[in-house]
Structure 1
Amino acid sequence: MKYSREKLSEEKVFKDPVHRYIHVRDRAIWDLISTKEFQRLRRVKQLGTTYLTFHGAEHSRLNHSLGVYEIVRRIVDDVFEGRSEWNQEERLLSLCAALLHDLGHGPFSHSFEKVFDLDHEEFTREIILGSTEVNAVLRRVAPDFPKKVSDVIAKTYKDKLVVSLISSQIDADRMDYLQRDAYFTGVSYGHFDMERIMRVMRPREDQVVIKQSGMHAVEDYIMSRYQMYWQVYFHPVSRSAEVILTKILHRAKHLYARGYTFKQEPVHFRSLFDGNVTVEDYLKLDEAVILYYFQVWEAEEDVILRDLCLRFMNRKLFKYVEFHPSNDQMNKLMELNRLFKKAGIDPEYYLVVDSSSDLPYDFYRPGEEEERLPIHLLKNNGEIRELSRESEIVDAISGKRRTDHKLYFPADLLRDESTKKNVKRQIRELLELS
């Protein structure tokens, strides 16, 4: 039997807290799950530093990847099967792209990417196309199959319907992470009626459309996404941990460039610091490796690196105040920088403005840089209408970007009265601390 159609002799199932069961019948999917590159995702948390705020948020990128696969499997096997608009030949491609879409995420991924100027989607494609176990499995389907999977993830594949299943404003990726992250953080915001949404999905040439009768379920999904971003993903305490994590990596990178002698040689970081990281180097990185270095750096000679690592590992996080980048606030920030230096506290590492921004829903506006594929409703008369044209709720938030700014600092250092008492008092007054 041709590998692309080969089935397991017996269906395999994974017990899952979100979808109850994840079903695997395709030999190619089972083989991909068994690769070392996919198994590495067990050691990369889905929500980065969020576990320091919501203690249950210990789930991994592997959990999420299996969930995205299961949603796509249900769509193509249960919703799309037999419909003329769906090309059944794209089934395995859709499943593989769903399973592998996060393959290139690094440890504490988004913070890590910013510091070292990396792109996890680029690494995902390199892993899929490179000399890896994943590539070997995909090539067994067809010589050009790895390229097809890569193109779907890069959003350049010719069949836009396949792309939209894992990358659109109502895709399997978002539908899984909202529910999964809500479950593991213990919040109620991310819950919505996925079963209803899936029942009213219909395939069209370029994307999935939603029957008009399912509009209210989609409204609920969009509001769930909005609430999750502001109550979980942008939680100020998680952002404080992310600020410290980022500063640890910046400090280690700075010390390495300066020729500093580490007590524990940062072997795993060397190619990152040198700016020539390979896929092989990248795949050796996971959160266990990063946390090992943070732990040993608690004993480093460098005071700043040692302090930041102690803070992160023991959850001694920075406090924060609201910050609005107006002229008055920017002047205050300049004065705080001056006073921090005077107090002997390096503002580069201990006075940080962090901003979060989200656009819950938008539609394509000609001439703008980023094209956003809108959610379309299929009306009873066969007409297709963009969601915000039919929903007053969605119309009210369409195109409205919300941004939040916080100023982070170590309040404990400002309370230490052993030195620089007057300067620290001035800092506290500027920050309006009691």
Structure 2
Amino acid sequence: MTEINKLKIFNDPIYGFITIPNTLIYDLIQHPYFQRLRRITQMGLSYLVYPGANHTRFHHALGCMHLMQKAVDVLRFKGVFISEEEKNALYIAILLHDIGHGPFSHTMEKTIVEEVHHEEISLLFMEHLNKEFEGQLDLAIQVFKGEYHRKFMLQLISSQLDMDRMDYLKRDSFYSGVAEGNVNSERLIQMMNVVDDVLVIEEKGIYSVEKFLMSRRLMYWQAYLHKTSLVAELILTKVLKRAKELTTKGIELPCSEPLMYFMQNRITLETFNSKNLDLFAQLDDFDVISALKAWQNNEDFILSTLSSMIINRDLLKIILSSEKPTITDLELLREKFAIENNISVQDTNYFIFKGKIKNQAYSMEAEPIRILKKDRSVEDVFESPDQLNLKSLSKSVTKYYICFPKQLEQIKI
């Protein structure tokens, strides 16, 4: 019997060659749960705006692991003790941190499984894999849950300057073509250190931190919260809401078995058993796209119209403003659309709605980014007298939106 060489190399367009460090990591990558990430787009429906943004969570997870390998090497070089077991735990935790994402990533977070966050589903996957791999993920799960005593290890996975953010900003910037989002992850990692088991950035890297936060702010406005991406994702959530509504009325809709299961059943964290997990593991973007293609011909006006909007990229009009839209504005639009399409005013909520978006590059409430000064003292990056730009980056900016069919554009609101 031929032995499989498990020490593979991936050729990544961002970093060049990414190496698989050991056979356990190889086996985790080969597992169907992880291979599913090849079929989950990283940026949701952003490819409707940026045609190149078709990269997947699989790309992102491997990129995060690569950056973690670099970070471990840098910290060890600077005298930070990281055992082989801890190193492997960091690799596994960052590799699997997004394994719980559903179709189109964040887009359908509250639609398919309404009450369970993707990080909680990631943990369920990790615990299931841990049984399968006979406890080899024990420490990785401890780190992922924040239960391990070495605080900096969690910060490398989940913080305001972690491997996750470093990769997705650089990767999403590359694939979307939004150059403003590009970050110098290599320099940021080279500037990392650990003091009293807390992650710090050496003072000479402070401008790289500022650039990182500015890039994050710009990526949110230009890519993640781009108005066309936003309206497409809102329409997709409305499609699934309508499909669930019709399903509960006993109307059969053509779709895959896993998608049908989650439309028929309301799953909570407490009821998320192994059966649900296996069905969720079969869900990906293709289930949703296939359903939309079928539903655009459905006799239900709402379901067919909304599905067709996504498939043919003929979306609702969206207007962003710094001021809240009034109820009167919406009522006028709803009344006209209801009459024109012979539907109830209540049903026009699927086509005419409002909401708000927020963008905050740096949170004062979350774990701060700490700077290690030349005198070995540590301070919050926000406290640095030279970083006046961070004052504005820490402010939450809110914009309000209103969505409505394009044929109503002539009505002044």
**TM surpasses 0.5:** yes
Q: Which residue of 2 aligns with 1:54?
A: 50
In the superposition, relative to structure 1, how do residues 82 and 90 fare at CA in structure 2: closer, same or farther (>3 Å)? farther
The 1-side partners of 2:340 and 2:318 are apart by 19
* 2:364 matches 1:404: no
Q: Which residue of 2 aligns with 1:5?
A: none
Q: Which amino acid aligns with 2:351?
A: Y
The 2-side partners of 1:126 and 1:154 are apart by 12
Q: Which residue of 2 aligns with 1:228?
A: 219
Q: Which residue of 2 aligns with 1:32?
A: 28
What are the superposed Cα offsets for residues 115-140 of structure 1, whole Å, 9 maximum, x if unpaired?
Answer: 2313111111111112x4x6523x3x
SS in 2 for 1:183: helix
Q: Which residue of 1 aligns with 2:282?
A: 284
Whether the 8 Å CA contact 1:11–1:25 is kept in 2: the answer is: yes
> Offset at 1:10?
7.9
Q: Which residue of 2 aligns with 1:120?
A: 118
SS in 2 for 1:114: coil
In the superposition, relative to structure 1, how do residues 82 and 395 fare at CA in structure 2: closer, same or farther (>3 Å)? closer
Q: Which residue of 2 aligns with 1:313?
A: 311
> Offset at 1:154?
3.1
Residues 125-164 of structure 1 correspond to what in structure 2 (within 5 A)? 125-130=123-128, 132=129, 135-137=131-133, 139=134, 143=135, 145-164=136-155
Whether the 8 Å CA contact 1:155–1:167 is kept in 2: the answer is: no
What are the superposed Cα offsets for residues 327-358 of structure 1, whole Å, 9 maximum, x if unpaired?
Answer: x7233223333343343364211102242212
Q: Which residue of 2 aligns with 1:192?
A: 183
Q: Which residue of 1 aligns with 2:229?
A: 238
SS in 1 for 2:411: helix
- Alpha-carbon RMSD: 2.1
Q: Which residue of 2 aligns with 1:428?
A: 410
Q: Which residue of 2 aligns with 1:249?
A: 240
Q: Which residue of 2 aligns with 1:173?
A: 164
SS in 2 for 1:361: coil
SS in 1 for 2:52: coil
**Structure 1 length normalisation: TM-score?**
0.85
The alignment covers a number of residue pairs equal to 395
Q: Which amino acid aligns with 2:258?
A: H
What are the superposed Cα offsets for residues 175-215 of structure 1, whole Å, 9 maximum, x if unpaired?
Answer: 00000000000111111222221111102334320111111
The 1-side partners of 2:206 and 2:83 are apart by 26
Q: Which residue of 2 aligns with 1:367?
A: none
Whether the 8 Å CA contact 1:41–1:60 is kept in 2: the answer is: yes
Whether the 8 Å CA contact 1:389–1:395 is kept in 2: the answer is: no
Q: Which residue of 2 aligns with 1:275?
A: 266
In the superposition, relative to structure 1, how do residues 92 and 17 fare at CA in structure 2: closer, same or farther (>3 Å)? same
Whether the 8 Å CA contact 2:7–2:26 is kept in 1: the answer is: no
The 2-side partners of 1:275 and 1:255 are apart by 15
Determine which of 96, 108, 131 is the counterpart of 1:100.
96
* 2:384 matches 1:386: no
**Structure 2 length normalisation: TM-score?**
0.89
Whether the 8 Å CA contact 1:298–1:307 is kept in 2: the answer is: yes
> Offset at 1:147?
4.0
In the superposition, relative to structure 1, how do residues 300 and 97 fare at CA in structure 2: closer, same or farther (>3 Å)? same
The 2-side partners of 1:408 and 1:270 are apart by 28
Q: Which amino acid aligns with 1:334?
A: E
Q: Which amino acid aligns with 2:313?
A: R
In the superposition, relative to structure 1, how do residues 363 and 299 fare at CA in structure 2: closer, same or farther (>3 Å)? same
User: Which moved further from structure 2: 279-288 or 328-337?
Assistant: 328-337
In the superposition, relative to structure 1, how do residues 16 and 373 fare at CA in structure 2: closer, same or farther (>3 Å)? same
Q: Which amino acid aligns with 1:355?
A: K
The 1-side partners of 2:187 and 2:359 are apart by 26
What are the superposed Cα offsets for residues 248-268 of structure 1, whole Å, 9 maximum, x if unpaired?
Answer: 101100101112233x26532
In the superposition, relative to structure 1, how do residues 175 and 191 fare at CA in structure 2: closer, same or farther (>3 Å)? same
> Offset at 1:398?
4.8
The 2-side partners of 1:232 and 1:287 are apart by 20
> Offset at 1:31?
1.3
In the superposition, relative to structure 1, how do residues 268 and 385 fare at CA in structure 2: closer, same or farther (>3 Å)? same
Provide structure 1 residue ranges, at least 5 long, that are not aligned to the other structure: 1-7, 365-371, 415-426
Q: Which amino acid aligns with 2:412?
A: L
Whether the 8 Å CA contact 1:86–1:203 is kept in 2: the answer is: no
Determine which of 40, 64, 68 is the counterpart of 1:68.
64
> Offset at 1:299?
1.9
Percent of matched pairs sharing the same residue: 32
The 1-side partners of 2:323 and 2:266 are apart by 32
User: Which moved further from structure 2: 21-30 or 10-19?
Assistant: 10-19
The 2-side partners of 1:284 and 1:154 are apart by 25
Whether the 8 Å CA contact 1:161–1:205 is kept in 2: the answer is: no
In the superposition, relative to structure 1, how do residues 385 and 295 fare at CA in structure 2: closer, same or farther (>3 Å)? same
Q: Which residue of 2 aligns with 1:362?
A: 363
The 2-side partners of 1:329 and 1:282 are apart by 40
> Offset at 1:52?
0.7
The 2-side partners of 1:56 and 1:395 are apart by 31
